[in-house]
């Protein structure tokens, strides 16, 4: 396993696009939280009525775990994009063929890419964890607390779903342009649109669509006291189980497709 990862590392080590995007991604994780921070920071802090409506300040412990996980999840299309690039590059250079010819099994090739989805999700999660601690400590007003830290775990589930879907789209569409285009449209618009329709007409079932499922693990963190009564709360355990089912399906399709079809 380690030797497989070493080879994947050799492929990516000198690939500038990958590192540039990764760097900008990490900066943006901080950046998107900073934007949210600036907006909520403009609230009237000494007004009791306002505080009652808003609830605990979103960037204080323990709320900060929820807030940073939620905000950062908007950036998750980037690791998905990185996976798509990594896979479709192989297709356009035909190096997926060459790796097999040189002596990898088809299984090994696709398993390394799956490992890459895991690694990107883990790295993203660690970055979000650190970002949350930084914002929590910077905001002050409360002691460090690990209450609500499960949201970092939920973020990980959401991250790996995104990278796994990226892998699946890369494998289905093979060419980077179309794969990236469809991936973005699906993640940003199409699934939300479909979820909205299903939620309205089919017993609120849109929330169980693949990415909605993981998305709903981390509910909207702001203005809790106002929005809470109107949100359908779904049992996180149910969502986690469903996420696991979806992940299994993504990986199963990737494995089968790559092992059976002509390359």
Partner 1 sequence: MLNNVLTLTNLTKYYGKILALNNVSFSVPEGSVFGILGPNGSGKTTMLGIVMDILKPTSGSFTFYGQPGHANMRKQIGTLLETPNFYHYLSGERNLQIAAEIKGKGHDQVDEVLKKVDLLERKTSKFSTYSLGMKQRLAIASALLGGPKVLVFDEPTNGLDPVGISEIRTLIQRLALEGKTIIMASHMLDEVEKVCTHVAILKRGNLLTAGDVDEILVNDEIVEVSAANSLLLATVLKEMSGYNNIKQVDNDFHLLYPPAKADLEAINRYCFKKGVVLTYLRLKKKSLETKFLELTNQ
| Residue 102 within binding range of partner 1, rule CB under 8 A | yes
| Residue 93 within binding range of partner 1, rule CB under 8 A | yes
Measured distance CA(99)–CA(224) in Å, rounded: 52
| Residue 101 within binding range of partner 1, rule CB under 8 A | yes
Measured distance CA(230)–CA(139) in Å, rounded: 29
| Residue 95 within binding range of partner 1, rule CB under 8 A | yes
Interface with partner 1 in residues 103-122 (CB under 8 A):
103-106, 108
**Shortest Cβ 249–partner 1 spacing (Å):** 23
3-state secondary structure of 199: helix
* CA 116, chain centre distance (Å): 14
| Residue 205 within binding range of partner 1, rule CB under 8 A | no
| Residue 263 within binding range of partner 1, rule CB under 8 A | yes
With contact defined as beta carbons under 8 Å apart, do 166 and 83 qualify?
yes
Measured distance CA(137)–CA(60) in Å, rounded: 8
| Residue 11 within binding range of partner 1, rule CB under 8 A | yes
Query: What are the phi and psi torsion angles at 245 (to 5°)?
Result: -60, -45
**Shortest Cβ 90–partner 1 spacing (Å):** 9
| Residue 229 within binding range of partner 1, rule CB under 8 A | no
Spell out the residues 6+ positions from residue 146 whose beta carbon is closer than 8 angstroms to its own. 62
Residues that bind partner 1 (CB under 8 A): 3, 6-7, 10-11, 14-17, 89, 93-95, 97-106, 108, 260-263
């Amino acid at each position: 396993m380690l030797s497989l990862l070493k080879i994947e590392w050799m492929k990516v080590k000198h690939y500038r696009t990958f590192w540039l995007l990764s760097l900008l991604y990490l900066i943006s994780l901080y950046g998107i939280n900073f934007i949210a921070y600036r907006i909520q920071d403009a609230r009237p802090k000494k007004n009791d009525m306002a505080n009652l409506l808003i609830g605990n300040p979103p960037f204080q412990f323990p709320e900060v775990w929820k807030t940073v996980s939620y905000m950062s999840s908007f950036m998750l299309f980037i690791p998905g994009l990185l996976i798509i690039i990594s896979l479709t590059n192989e297709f356009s250079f035909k190096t997926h063929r060459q790796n097999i010819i040189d002596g990898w099994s088809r299984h090994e090739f696709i398993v390394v890419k799956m490992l890459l989805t895991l690694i990107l999700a883990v790295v993203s999660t660690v970055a979000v964890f650190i970002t949350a601690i930084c914002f929590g400590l910077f905001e002050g007003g409360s002691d460090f607390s690990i209450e609500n830290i499960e949201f970092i775990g939920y973020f990980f589930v959401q991250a790996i779903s995104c990278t796994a879907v990226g892998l699946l789209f890369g494998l289905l569409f093979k060419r980077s342009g179309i794969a990236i285009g469809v991936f973005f449209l699906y993640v940003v618009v199409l699934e939300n649109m479909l979820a909205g329709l299903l939620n309205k007409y089919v017993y609120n079932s849109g929330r169980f669509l693949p990415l909605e499922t993981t998305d709903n693990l981390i509910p909207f963190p702001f203005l809790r006291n106002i929005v809470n009564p109107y949100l359908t709360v779904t049992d996180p355990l149910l969502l986690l189980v469903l996420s696991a089912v979806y992940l299994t399906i993504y990986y199963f399709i990737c494995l089968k497709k790559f092992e059976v079809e002509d390359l």
